[in-house]
Amino acid sequence: MQANKPQNFYKNVSEALAQPNLKAIIRRTTDKADAKRAEAVSNFPGFENARTQGQKIKDHVIKHMDHYLAEFEKNAKAQGAIVHWASTGEEATKIVMDICKQHEAKKITRSKSMLGEEIGLSHALDHSDMERIETDLAEHIIQLAGDPPSHIVWPAMHRSREDVVKLFRSNHKSPTQSEEIIDLVRSARRDLRTKFLTSDIGISGSNFLLADSGSSCTVTNEGNAELTITPPKVHIVTAGIEKLVPSMAHAVPLLRLLTRSATGAEITQYITFHNGAKREGDADGPEVSHIVLVDNGRTKMLADGMEEMLRCIRCGACMNHCVVYKHIGGHAYGSVYPGPMGSVLTPHIEGLEVANKQTHACTLNGRCEEVCPVNIPLPKLLRALRAKSWSKKYEPITNRFVVSAYAMLASRPKLFQLSSSMGVVMMKLFSRKGWIQSMPFTSGWTSNRDLIAPESKTFMQQYKKQRKSSNTAEKQQ
């Protein structure tokens, strides 16, 4: 599947809506996630307090980002890690690729990382002579299918069991003949097991960076991160600078929020903190440890008053609960991060001019903010991006014209009332049996639904007339 582009959003949306079973495919995952999240929240009376605590922890780090970055660097180096800095995605990818080349690596195992996708690492590895091996089951599936991820937690949610059967049969060494999900998982287990153990370099992302120890934290259900990181000689972490927290004790409240919000689970099975290189005498572990700290638009968010977005812990709850995402799916957004959080992040990564259409693909209904575990005001941020896009004149000229004309009228009440009554007269011309099925300039509405026909006069006209007659009646008395 060819990756969509964010600038082709309209086309992507049409294609998504034309896909007959897309809604069912999406709901299979999001409905379950929504229900399980609701249950997890109702079983946790302290959830609101936890949210406040989580938000405050993130805000504290955002406020003192430079301090914590320096702390992290110092402590990671003290444990033998090599710390790298990248201000762009290209720089980050180049750093990783150079390390791989330096070690003459042939096989690279990877544990799922959205940042890795963001900086284009998959693409770079695929265009090298190294073999990229995705070890998260979902990433494994979409790697075999050649798909981009469609969700940040369930990147292969768009693929059915039947798809997986076909993919595994044509790609696994000793594939299963069964179509049972358990046997498919076993088939992947067998196939990936030897790859884990023979990999030259393991690459992971990080859910949290602990400033006090210089550790990076991985969170998985499968245990693939540890199997990716431990056997190879070299471990490379790529992490966004917003992943910092002061210490493990500060990561804990965020972990409580993360898993409940993502999958509805109270905890994920594997939370592992990775700290520098293997110590002398250690039974296993990588001998070399690299950490690449990536900006790629994050400091731009700080500068643009979008710092609340840096709270994001990538749980995916906003997309699971988004009416738009639930109808068009992740691929339509054309970017690594879909849904509400993606519509805020992507303009900072790929540029607002490229991704401003997504900021409008939102009814501002506020559901995403309501479920966000760290209280990110997503609708407010999306609206702020629209305002920026407006002031930069990225909006289509026709939209600008219509909206400006509206403001001109609406700021002049007399004129507005006059044009409203004229509008009513116009609409009456097109109404049949109380409804308007089509009329000029309303196709946006009437292509899919009828428009109620107005009464013959506006409220104001009727009200004034009524007042006048009641006043006259009073005088006559």
Partner 1 sequence: MNKQQEAISRQKIFDAIKQASPTAPANIDAIQKEALELLSLNEDARPAALHDDPSIALEMRVEKGLVIGTSCERIATLADLPNAVKTFFAKHKLPKVAKVQETEQLQSLDWNGIGINADIIEDDTVGVCLAEYGIAETGSFVVSSSKDMPILLNFLPLYLVVAAPKSKVLAFMDDYALIANDIAKQGTTPRNICIISGASGTTDIEGVLVQGAHGPEFLHLVIVDDL
Partner 2 sequence: MMNTKDSQISDKKVGLFVTCLVNTMRPSVGFASVQLLEEAGCSVEVPELQSCCGQPSFNSGDDEGTRQVAKQVIQHFEHFDYLVVPSGSCASMIKKHFVEVFQDQPEWLTRAEHLASITHELLSFLVDICDFEPKNVSLDGSYTYHDSCSGLRSLGVYEQPRKLLSSVEGLEHKQLTASTECCGFGGTFCVKYTDISNAIVGEKTENIVATKADYLLGGDMGCLMNMAGKLNREGHTEIKTLHTAELLTGQRPEAMQNKAMENSGGNDASK
Contacts of 225 (CB under 8 A, 6+ apart): 111, 204, 218, 219, 270, 272
Q: Which is nearer to partner 2, 242 or 369 (CB)?
A: 369
In our burial notation (b when 16+ CB lie closer than 10 A, e otherwise), range 133-142 reads: bbbbbbbbbb
Site residues (CB under 8 A) for partner 2, limited to 172-231: none
Stretch that binds partner 2, among 133-141, 153-161, 255-263, 415-423 (CB under 8 A): 415-423
Q: How far apart are CA 255 and CA 250, in angstroms?
A: 9
Applying CB under 8 A, the site for partner 2 has a residue count of 74
Stretch that binds partner 2, among 107-115, 192-200, 201-209, 455-463 (CB under 8 A): 455-463
Instruction: Report the relative pairing of strands 234-240 and 81-86 from DSSP bridges.
Output: unpaired
> Would you say 82 and 290 are in contact if contact means Cβ atoms under 8 Å apart?
yes
Of 215, 245, 212, 206, which is closest to residue 64 (Cα–Cα)?
A: 245
Stretch that binds partner 2, among 238-246, 249-257, 292-300, 461-469 (CB under 8 A): 461-469
Side-chain-side CA neighbours of residue 143 (13 Å): 24
38 counts as binding partner 2 under rule CB under 8 A: no
Question: Which does residue 444 bind out of partner 1, partner 2, none, counting CB within 5 to 8 angstroms by kind?
Answer: partner 2
Question: Which does residue 126 bind out of partner 1, partner 2, none, counting CB within 5 to 8 angstroms by kind?
Answer: none
Question: Which does residue 250 bind out of partner 2, partner 1, none, counting CB within 5 to 8 angstroms by kind?
Answer: partner 1
420 counts as binding partner 2 under rule CB under 8 A: yes
- Give the shortest CB-372-to-partner 2 separation in angstroms: 12
DSSP string, 52-110: HHHHHHHHHHHHTHHHHHHHHHHHHHHTTEEEEEESSHHHHHHHHHHHHHHTT--EEEE
Question: Which does residue 134 bind out of partner 1, partner 2, none, counting CB within 5 to 8 angstroms by kind?
Answer: none
Q: How far apart are CA 70 and CA 83, in angstroms?
A: 11
Q: Judged by CB under 8 A, which of 174, 391, 476, 477 binds partner 2?
A: 391
Q: How far apart are CA 159 and CA 175, in angstroms?
A: 18
Question: Which does residue 395 bind out of partner 1, partner 2, none, counting CB within 5 to 8 angstroms by kind?
Answer: partner 2
Question: Which does residue 447 bind out of partner 2, partner 1, none, counting CB within 5 to 8 angstroms by kind?
Answer: partner 2
23 counts as binding partner 2 under rule CB under 8 A: yes
Q: Which is nearer to partner 2, 26 or 81 (CB)?
A: 26
Site residues (CB under 8 A) for partner 2, limited to 349-378: 360-367, 369-370
**Tokens 């006209």 label which residue?**
461
- Give the shortest CB-427-to-partner 1 separation in angstroms: 47
Instruction: Report the relative pairing of strands 208-210 and 131-134 from DSSP bridges.
Output: unpaired
Site residues (CB under 8 A) for partner 2, limited to 324-353: 324, 327-328
Q: Judged by CB under 8 A, which of 75, 263, 375, 458 binds partner 2?
A: 458
- Give the shortest CB-399-to-partner 2 separation in angstroms: 7
- Give the shortest CB-182-to-partner 1 separation in angstroms: 5
403 counts as binding partner 2 under rule CB under 8 A: yes
Q: Which is nearer to partner 2, 283 or 429 (CB)?
A: 429
Site string for partner 2, 289-328 (x = CB under 8 A): ----------------------------------xx--xx
Q: Which is nearer to partner 1, 206 or 224 (CB)?
A: 224
Question: Which does residue 233 bind out of partner 2, partner 1, none, counting CB within 5 to 8 angstroms by kind?
Answer: none
Question: Which does residue 457 bind out of partner 2, partner 1, none, counting CB within 5 to 8 angstroms by kind?
Answer: partner 2
278 counts as binding partner 2 under rule CB under 8 A: no
Q: At what angle do helices 378-391 and 352-360 cross, to 10 degrees?
A: 130
Site string for partner 2, 49-88 (x = CB under 8 A): ----------------------------------------
163 counts as binding partner 2 under rule CB under 8 A: no
Q: Other CB atoms closer than 10 Å to residue 199's CB: what's the count?
A: 25
Instruction: Tokens for 197, please give them.
Output: 């153990």
In our burial notation (b when 16+ CB lie closer than 10 A, e otherwise), range 99-108 reads: bbeeeebebb
CA quadruple 393, 399, 401, 406: dihedral sign: negative
435 counts as binding partner 2 under rule CB under 8 A: yes
Q: Which is nearer to partner 1, 38 or 78 (CB)?
A: 78
**Tokens 């401003």 label which residue?**
356
Instruction: Report the relative pairing of strands 215-220 and 208-210 from DSSP bridges.
Output: antiparallel
> Would you say 192 and 135 are in contact if contact means Cβ atoms under 8 Å apart?
yes
Side-chain-side CA neighbours of residue 410 (13 Å): 6
- Give the shortest CB-149-to-partner 2 separation in angstroms: 21
- Give the shortest CB-384-to-partner 2 separation in angstroms: 8
SS3 per-residue string spanning 344-403:
HHHHHHHCHHHHHHHHHCCCCCCHHHHHCCCCCCHHHHHHHHHHHHHHCCCCCHHHHHHH
Element (H, E) at 114: helix 114-118
